[in-house]
Amino acid sequence: MTLMFFGILISIILAVAISRRFGFRSQKPDHYKAGTPVFDIRQHMKGDLLCEGVIYGPFGRVTSRFVAKMQADWSGNVGRMTEEFKYDSGNIQHREWTLCVENDGTIQADAPDLIGTGQGYQSGSAVCLNYTIELTKDAGGHALDVVDWMYLMENGVIINRSQFRKFGIKVAELVATMRPAIINQIASE
């Protein structure tokens, strides 16, 4: 029995080590430094934005779908972004971010539902944010560590992939698109 316990423990430690070395969380800004187009959130995340996405549970099944309207305004290196999410459950969620971009590309992110200040960076065609979010009471009220990676596509669409972890264990993943509302208007004409 003891041998089996140690075997399971070693397997878990090995899986975590491999995912940190080769998986989603192993990405670094240098991986995207030469990427084009160059992603500057002050330019590419401004004005009216539309978003669609899905949230996956810990076993990879879709647990929720959403559409969102976002609006971002910038004054120099400081931006304010409001979000209105409409979930397939009928729930509506409002969020607001304050983002500050330094000249070296580092980003500080604040929102009422964050614990502390989020940290990130923009590099080449990608932006990464790391933060701890406190879920609403109806979503369990848990504090989750989040890694957001956003990738700018040539047509101005942003692909967002986020992982949510509790005690280092992935409990959810989000995949979404964000794009200027004007792209949607052009496509429908």
pLDDT in the model for residue 2: 74
pLDDT in the model for residue 114: 96
Alpha helices for 30-172 (secondary structure H): 41-44
pLDDT in the model for residue 8: 72
Domain residue spans in the chain? 1-30, 32-188
Q: What element of type H or E holds 98?
A: strand 92-101
pTM of the model: 0.81
pLDDT in the model for residue 29: 64
Query: Which residues of the chain carry a pLDDT beneath 50?
Result: 186
Is-contact 164 148, C-beta < 8 A?
A: no
The pLDDT tens digits for 120-171 are 999 888 999 999 999 888 778 899 999 999 999 999 999 999 999 999 889 9
- Cα–Cα distances in angstroms (integers) from residue 13 to residues 17, 57, 126, in the given order: 6, 22, 29
Q: Which CATH number fits domain 32-188: 3.40.190.290, 3.40.640.10, 2.40.128.20, 3.10.20.440?
A: 2.40.128.20
pLDDT in the model for residue 140: 81
